[in-house]
């Protein structure tokens, strides 16, 4: 009997140790505001006053990527950052400023002023409960100006402090690779193959026919001697058709993809590397800022 009891004791002990090990190895779960209760938020604020606000868009991403690509990227990476840092994520908008993509069905777009107002009013509400440090994780270029204005307004008119940790932020790493692979190309398709592979219709991917108007072509040539002209070149790109700059998505690409490469060359390993770089930089920034209460 004593031997049998000892065996049972050993078995139970080993089982508990194994369970503890598995639990310890399980990845931490991201904190998403909409999935929390009000008591969860109350308890969270006892230890942390930070919140991550992802910014994406609903816009065409070629024939193979979903309209919500930028939203899924911003939210997906924000959740990975949350799982590493314990900082809550508060998704606010599904759409961004994307009017220059409206030549393709399904694209949604908000005026920059509308976005700014919604985000600022959201911050005001969150401040009422005790949030004081706001981290904007933007993953759509059209939102850059809105992000800058909201952050400036928060820092200049409230007790809170805001910073950018995604695209167009001080912690963003310099992109390497081909000069023009900006939208729904190899890089972005790879990210989606890593984050949301079930939404990628890779069999529909095709290399786009890119057409830059003569003015942009000439600026690009001159920029080889005068690099500062690239700023003017960029000012012509991603502009509404109504401006007559010939830089809207439908005018420069036959299928909405902005790339000189073939998106069929995308793979999840490229995407994982890109995601890890963004997440790691944001995590380091947040952990450093936590020390400066």
Over the stretch 137-190, which tens digit does the pLDDT of each residue have?
A: 999 999 999 999 999 999 999 999 999 999 999 988 766 556 789 999 999 999
3-12, 56-65, 159-168: least confidently modelled range? 3-12
pTM: 0.89
User: Is residue 11 over pLDDT 60?
Assistant: no
pLDDT band at 3 (very low <50, low <70, confident <90, very high): low
User: Is residue 119 over pLDDT 50?
Assistant: yes
Q: What percent of the chain has pLDDT over 70?
A: 89
Run of H or E residues at 290 = helix 268-290
Two structure tokens written together for 52: 């991550």
Name the more confident of 293 and 69: 69
Q: How far apart (Å, rounded) are the C-alpha atoms in residues 236 and 227? A: 16
Q: Determine the average pLDDT of the residues in 262-281.
A: 97
Q: Average pLDDT, whole number, for the chain?
A: 92
Q: Is 157 helix (H, G, I), strand (E, B) or coil?
A: helix
Q: What percent of the chain has pLDDT over 90?
A: 86
pLDDT band at 27 (very low <50, low <70, confident <90, very high): low
User: Is residue 8 over pLDDT 70?
Assistant: no
The pLDDT, as a whole number, for residue 176 is 59
Q: What is the second-level CATH architecture of the domain 28-180+266-290?
A: 3-Layer(aba) Sandwich (3.40)
The pLDDT, as a whole number, for residue 179 is 72
Over the stretch 82-116, which tens digit does the pLDDT of each residue have?
A: 999 999 999 999 999 999 999 999 999 999 999 99
């Amino acid at each position: 009997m004593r031997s049998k009891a000892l065996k049972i004791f050993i078995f139970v002990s080993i089982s508990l140790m194994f369970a503890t090990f598995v639990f310890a190895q399980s990845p931490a779960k991201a904190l998403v505001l909409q999935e929390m209760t009000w008591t969860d938020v109350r308890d969270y604020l006892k230890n942390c006053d930070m919140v991550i606000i992802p910014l994406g868009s609903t816009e065409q991403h070629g024939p193979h990527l979903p309209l919500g690509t930028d939203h899924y990227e911003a939210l997906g990476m924000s959740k990975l950052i949350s799982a590493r840092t314990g900082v809550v994520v508060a998704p606010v908008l599904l759409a961004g400023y994307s009017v220059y993509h409206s030549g393709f069905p399904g694209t949604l777009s908000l005026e920059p002023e509308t976005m700014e107002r919604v985000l600022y009013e959201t911050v005001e509400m969150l401040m009422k409960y005790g949030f004081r440090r706001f981290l904007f994780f933007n993953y759509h270029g059209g939102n850059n100006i809105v992000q800058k204005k909201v952050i400036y307004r928060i820092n200049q008119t409230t007790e809170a402090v805001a910073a950018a940790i995604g695209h167009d932020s001080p912690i963003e790493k310099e992109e390497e690779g081909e000069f023009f692979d900006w939208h729904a190309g190899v890089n972005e398709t790879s990210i989606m193959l890593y984050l949301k592979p079930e939404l990628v219709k890779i069999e529909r991917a095709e290399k786009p026919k890119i057409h830059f108007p003569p003015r942009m072509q000439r600026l690009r040539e001159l920029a080889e001697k005068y690099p500062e002209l690239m700023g003017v070149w960029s000012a012509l790109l991603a502009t509404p058709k109504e401006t007559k700059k010939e830089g809207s998505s439908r005018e420069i690409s036959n299928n909405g993809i902005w790339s000189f490469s073939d998106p069929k060359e995308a793979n999840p390993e490229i995407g994982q590397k890109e995601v890890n770089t963004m997440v790691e930089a944001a995590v380091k920034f947040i952990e450093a800022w936590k020390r400066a209460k």
